[in-house]
Amino acid sequence: MTDRIFIRDLLLRGIIGIHDWEREKRQDILINIEMEADCSRAGETDRVEDTVDYRATAKEIIGLVETSEFYLVEKLAQEIAELCLGNPGVEAVRVRVEKPGAVRFSESVGVEVERRREEGRGVEHP
């Protein structure tokens, strides 16, 4: 499958980090998502019901990030991936989570994970 739906540069604020000061104040979190989904039916029908509703997905991600208090960007990336794969139309997802300015002299640091729906089951870690 080559169809991809993406959400780019979703800039949110949340509690994330292992240090005490990171647990007290919300930080910028930059998220990029690529979801593999078959978009052919939506291309024919022009109906949102026949595709992945990226607006609804983004709202769920916003809710997750704004209320979460994870220690690691790896955990946040995993939770976002599982949320995306919760949509039956999504077969695989790539999630990139970054903390801008987290390391001195760098623009950003973060992690990128890829997850795929297992045959008839939940999430597979490639």
pLDDT in tens, 32-45: 999 999 999 999 99
pTM as predicted: 0.89
pLDDT in tens, 5-35: 999 999 999 999 999 999 999 999 999 999 9
Report in angstroms the alpha-carbon separations of 87 from 25, 35, 83, 93, 112.
32, 10, 7, 11, 20
71 within 8 A of 17, measured Cβ to Cβ: yes
Annotated catalytic residue 99: yes
4-124 CATH pick, 3.30.70.1290, 3.30.1130.10, 3.40.50.510, 3.40.50.300 = 3.30.1130.10
The full DSSP string for 10-24 is EEEEEEE-SSHHHHH
Looking at 25, 59, 75, 99, which residue is catalytic?
A: 99
